[in-house]
Amino acid sequence: MARPTSPRPLHLGVDLSDAGAHPAAWRTHGSQAQRLFDAERLQQLVDTAQRGTLDLVVIDDSFSLQPTRTTTLRGRLDAALVAARLAPRSRGIGLVPTVATTHTEPFHVSKAIATIDHVSGGRAGWQLGWSADDDDARDTAHFGRRPAVSEAAAVAEAEEAVRAVAALWDSWEDDAEIRDEATHRFVDRSKLHYVEHDGVHFAVKGPSITPRPPQGRPPVVVRVRSDESFGLAARHADVVRISATTRDEALDLRLRLRAAAVAAGREPGDLRVLADAFAVTGPDEASARARLDLLTELDGVRWDTDSLTHVGTARKLTDTFLDWWEIGAVDGFVVRPSSLHTDLDALVDGVVPMLRTARAFREHYAGPTLRDQLGLARPANRFAAIA
């Protein structure tokens, strides 16, 4: 029986961090552990995700090594630099690095994400990061930042950073570049604007040294992990990542996020809510379960994701996605493959074709930018509006 169709497209992203979401993924056969710091490996993963016309890939980052637990995997490449390298070598798919605000300055963040947006032709996003972690504070002490702060303080600083970064993106109007050889004028300085942000945590004058990004403002991704981050997401996120174990829990979160967005003066339709989905996928449930058992044995600790966790076939995962999406519990999912070398192929070659058959997912990219894939309008420039 054909499933009912919906005018809302289902959105899919994938987290490409480490060797996969399971801590023991790097120890499994075929994980290519020797290539974890090889940018070409990430290029191949992006090519696979792009083949499935996924909306975006997320690359995690932090200022400290991964949590210890029982795994010995340590270290990551700089997410923003990796995204900049991938940008001219990809098409259609959004590139979303995590860039933290707790130990960085808005000027540097705005310039880095704007650069990725320019190099990619409008496919950058920014997963907003912050830290209340002692390890991050200790590891950043060598460049003079303060001790660890509370979650509430870190989120408050992140919210101020988002406002400052958005203003810096707008500090060049879209037509500020003239490039008139005859008059020797490259920019119209009347279309460059001082931000004049003087806040609790940052003082930013501007303007940026990088022209306005092709998307105007690259989409901001916020992961909801606390009451403070919930409020931040409702006020400023374009994409919200939630953790939910059931569709009713996800629906409740989505409805509350949309209501909070309205209370903040936003249009609820401007918010895309994606649930994290941890996936162990196999040709049958027994083989998927056996693979998870092997990962658990290697790690020595039960895998507790505190979110939607799938262990089974691509068909079953497809049905779960459609079930949650059709009732409006989510706008889509960020898939966290247990092992990238196995579960990403299962997503692209197994799940995506079935979603297309159900007319829930695209055959081709909707346009050149990440905002096109997400169905988000390009925002007007705040300074041009008042000029």
DSSP string, 330-367: -SEEEEEESSHHHHHHHIIIIIHHHHHHTT-S-SS-SS
Question: Rg of the chain's alpha carbons, rounded to an integer?
Answer: 21
In 3D, which of 249, 218, 27, 24 has the Cα closest to residue 124? 218
Which residues are 220's β-sheet partners?
126
d(C-alpha 36, C-alpha 210), whole Å = 31
SS3 of 112-123: the string is: HHHHHHHHHCCC
In 3D, which of 261, 280, 287, 281 has the Cα closest to residue 272? 261
DSSP string, 9-29: PPEEEEE--TT-SSTTGGGST
Residues in the annotated binding site for FMN: 61, 98, 226
Give me 151's structure tokens. 């979650």
Q: In whole angstroms, how far apart are CA 300 and each of 69, 269, 307? A: 9, 43, 20
**Tokens 């690359």 belong to which residue?**
59
Give me 340's structure tokens. 């990238």
d(C-alpha 6, C-alpha 329), whole Å = 13
